[in-house]
Chain A
Amino acid sequence: MTLDGKCPSGPIETAWDTHRFNMKLVNPANRRKYNVLVVGTGLAGAACAATLGELGFNVQAFCYQDSARRAHSIAAQGGINAAKNYQNDGDSVHRLFYDTVKGGDYRSREANVHRLAQISVNIIDQAVAQGVPFAREYGGLLDNRSFGGAQVARTFYARGQTGQQLLLGAYSALSRQVHAGTVKLHTRTEMLDLVVIDGRARGIITRNLATGALESWIGDAVVLATGGYGNVFFLSTNAMGCNVTATYKAYKKGALFANPCYTQIHPTCIPVSGGYQSKLTLMSESLRNDGRVWVPKSAADATKDPSTLPEDQRDYYLERRYPSFGNLVPRDVASRNAKTVCDEGRGVGHEVDGQRRAVYLDFRDAIQRVGKSTIEARYGNLFHMYTKITGENPYESPMRIYPAIHYTMGGLWVDYNLMSNIEGLFVLGEANFSDHGANRLGASALMQGLADGYFVAPPTISDYLARVGWGSKITAEHEGFKAALGETNDRIQKLLNIKGKRPVDSFHRELGNVMWDKCGMSRTKEGLEEALKRIPEIRAEFWENVNVPGENKGVNQSLERAGRVADFLEFGELMCLDALERAESCGGHFREESQTEDGEALRDDVNFCHTAAWEFKGVETAPTLHKEALTFEHVKLTQRSYK
């Protein structure tokens, strides 16, 4: 299989416009004859479903939540980037493009990223017109802030709830189409399989989470906007329901999974407090502007009251190792260093499973320097959140933080049109792999989700539909649907019939521990090989000893979780395999074997300047690796340094 990204030729600045002109259109009167299935109602899914509905296509939209408004895009705090240059500080489409390619550590497709930067300005216009209440200045115009180390202020924000406001904007556009009758919304409905007929994606199988009913849906195109797979680690900043099932099932039906090992770790999360921990809460990185990160010099002091430790007993390890950037080193560097000091036994806070995994983030000096009220004005809401969760007062004792899984850059392989290698299967937002390379910059996830949903996918899907036409009649009686429905039902019955001894979550936690230890912030060949041995063992035990109570009737949340965990137990293996194969360090992927003398990530552009796309060959069979070479014509390959 050769992977063709189908990037348009010609100057990158006009590539998207030229490409759009070359696309075929569907006559307005014919649009309602096409059915498009959109799975997921986050930024990408809701925006895409609403836009296709506005165009006049027949859309069926699905989400597992009880309302389309609850998709996890809602939790994004920081903001959304756009090359508006409202601040007159030298920003431009090219600069946003450049920053994103560089930030992605040269593992993304230039053409896709350039288009993203171009479209970013339209997103802000669209959101404002929908009534998204972005922060404004007294003159009534939009405010910006800088974010994620960018040298320009290009981030638009709505307090700390930008994701919520943008999602509610997309949700309102979607609701408008539901009212207009162009979109049918199916909430509490989870996609459990993709139906591929004659090489084209023609439908999905869903389970109604309220009744347990399995249903077949026929479409001329299928759009997956189902988010990332961070919950393979069990503990992450993702919502509890986030899962890999939709994309993984598509992978099992022949869609390639690209760069699954690219995961992003966020350095400032509230640490785990006990074995019961169900999720991790992120706190804005802005805290590192004033907080100083440290651990005790001696492991013996880990349990001492931090305020009693004298200055010479503290190790401000980031300031020590990176004198010029100090506490403001990039996410991955800050995260790995926290892991290192904790692995040395100098971690602080609660002991969980025999280790203390937290470091101090201390505001003592900042409070002395600028006063408590200034710190309160800057971080009051974050301190409040910290107090709510931990019961401690960060004005008096240092915060404890630890990195957590936050975003996954990998996803289903797509071409420039966001179509996977399966014809008619489009993949949007975090679910695809295309724009962030090996590392995503802050405030770029919202930008990509909305760019895909509002502006990229609708024309490319129209083009696809115009090319395939609406003639082919397929019903739910087709063999392809009957087989998929049968398989889905068998799998559910199998899960329900095990009636073993262990609850579903215990397997998920066990898998998560393996993934975090071996395929987390820092990875080694030995560790990954160990994980590749261990995961199939956990999976085997799962299928023998899990206890899924009840039956497939009505609400059965154990069954929902069991299905998702079963897929994670297969997917985790694919991730480790990809991490093992990529014997270089890049972005969020750090292989200990590939580092500079100073312990920094060392890219290997000779051997790994490609996208790794995996083809499913069977659960117990190794997948086949396909490579899409990456070329950089506009941004020069360079090594990062933060010394």
Chain B
Amino acid sequence: MKITLNVWRQSSPQAAGAFVKYDVDGVSADMSMLEMLDVLNDRLESKGEAPIAFDHDCREGICGSCGFMINGVAHGPEKEITVCQTHMRSFKDGDELTLEPWRAMAFPVMRDLMVDRSAFDRIIQAGGYVSVRTGSAPEANATPVMKEHADMAFEAAACIGCGACVAACPNAAAMLFTSAKVSHLGLLPQGAPERDKRALDMVAQMDKEGFGHCTNHGECEAVCPKGISVNFIARMNRDLLKATLRSTR
């Protein structure tokens, strides 16, 4: 197939970017989106041109490195997958695709389709953990956990931190990401002692990073490669309000 790409090219964080058009022929339906970019990049490199920069690593949809907008949809048209697992059979010969980086104040563009998502790390550092020293853990089966809660905690914990939720949100909010961690740990008895503090600290950091607020559009859930539910956002809202009312700070 032949695919025409409009790719956002930006040589550095400070530089002004622009869309550049590339015609890629010989695209196979079995290629992944990123393999198609590899082919284009090999051609660019052979000519001594700078290849298109994009984050990627595991290429099996779990590391969360990859992600950009394909025709205005985070991670492209297929549901519950990342761009690395989007295959070209999702498109047809002659299609024109616009590839654009995640856009948010808290995710500055580093180069081309690559953005800086370190704000996510700082949100986790603010409280996305259970304070347990190595060696101080009690016997694993000492605390039974209701299966329903363990399963729900897993569903929240499945977040890969790719940033699609922020990218797709009309307000560039990081609510789905933050709420997934707040809920994962809040649902388990091991995370209960720090539940209030965690919600307060993580939300404060989320706001400090400059993410927007939640207007309950559900765009985040729709593009999430792990299908994480907006129910967790409500859960975090509840946790934060409760924590505000009952904590001593």
Contacts and interface: CB of A to CB of B under 8 A. Distances in A.
Q: Which of B127, B132, B136, B188 has the most CB of A within 10 A?
A: B132
A489 B143 CA distance: 54
A606 interface: no
A142 B32 CA distance: 38
B30 A390 contact: yes
Interface stretch (A366-374, A477-485, A546-554): A546-554
Interface string B1-41: 00000000001100000000000000011111011101101
Contacts of A455: 134-135
A276 B40 CA distance: 11
B158 interface: yes
A155 interface: no
Contacts of A237: 60
B32, B129, B151 interface centre (most CB from chain A within 10 Å): B129
A505 B42 contact: yes
A66 interface: yes
A555 B35 contact: no
B45 interface: yes
A282 B59 CA distance: 11
Interface stretch (B50-58, B209-217, B236-244): B50-58
B59 A126 contact: no
A134 interface: yes
A311 to B, nearest CB: 30
A388 B134 CA distance: 40
Interface in B141-161: 141, 143-147, 150-151, 153-154, 157-158, 160-161
A179 B191 CA distance: 18
B246 interface: no
Contacts of B136: 129
Contacts of B120: 67
A70 B63 contact: yes
Contacts of B34: 278
A554 B11 contact: yes
Contacts of A135: 150
Contacts of A504: 45
B189 to A, nearest CB: 9
B22 to A, nearest CB: 16
Interface in B194-217: none
Contact of A187 (B49, B121, B143): B121
B51 A140 contact: no
Interface in A92-137: 122, 124-131, 133-137
A519 interface: no
A131 B130 contact: yes
Interface stretch (B68-76, B91-99, B111-119, B168-176): B111-119
Contacts of A590: none
A77 to B, nearest CB: 9
B248 interface: no
- Among B114, B134, B184, find the residue whose CB has the most chain A CB atoms closer than 10 A: B134
Given A67-B118, A138-B147, A558-B45, A125 B139 contact: yes
A281 B185 CA distance: 30
Interface string A494-519: 00000101111110000000000000
A276 B56 contact: no
B56 A125 contact: no
A391 B147 contact: no
B140 A133 contact: no
Contact of B39 (A276, A281, A454): A276
Interface in A323-338: none
A465 interface: no
Interface string A164-184: 110010011101101100000
Contacts of A240: 56-59
A454 B147 contact: no
A3 interface: no
Contacts of B247: none
Contacts of A136: 144-145, 147, 150-151
B184 A75 contact: no
Nearest to B190: A131
Contacts of B158: 161, 164
B194 to A, nearest CB: 10
B154 A158 contact: yes
Nearest to B44: A549
A66 B51 contact: no
A523 interface: no
A175 B121 contact: yes
A279 interface: yes
Contacts of A137: 147
B45 to A, nearest CB: 4
Contact of A139 (B38, B121, B144): B144
A237 B154 CA distance: 24
Contact of A555 (B63, B110, B130, B146): B110
B116 A66 contact: yes
Contact of B30 (A47, A273, A501): A273
Nearest to B145: A140
Contacts of B116: 66, 210
Contacts of B144: 136, 139-141
Contacts of B30: 273-274, 350, 390-391
A128 B140 contact: yes
B150 A274 contact: no
A50 interface: yes
A69 B120 CA distance: 10
Given A175-B121, A555-B53, A165 B154 contact: yes
Nearest to B201: A179
A86 interface: yes
Given A75-B62, A278-B32, A130 B190 contact: yes
A234 to B, nearest CB: 12
A8 interface: no
B192 to A, nearest CB: 10
A267 interface: no
A595 interface: no
A153 B128 CA distance: 32
B130 A172 contact: yes
Given A86-B141, A175-B124, A389-B32, 5 more contacts: A131-B157, A140-B147, A179-B127, A550-B50, A555-B114
Interface of B: 11-12, 28-32, 34-36, 38-39, 41-42, 44-46, 48-51, 53, 55-60, 62-65, 78, 81, 85, 87, 89, 110-111, 114, 116-118, 120-121, 124-141, 143-147, 150-151, 153-154, 157-158, 160-161, 184-185, 188, 190-191
18 contacts: A128-B140, A129-B140, A130-B130, A130-B132, A131-B190, A133-B184, A161-B62, A176-B129, A185-B121, A239-B58, A240-B57, A276-B36, A276-B38, A391-B29, A503-B46, A549-B49, A550-B50, A557-B53
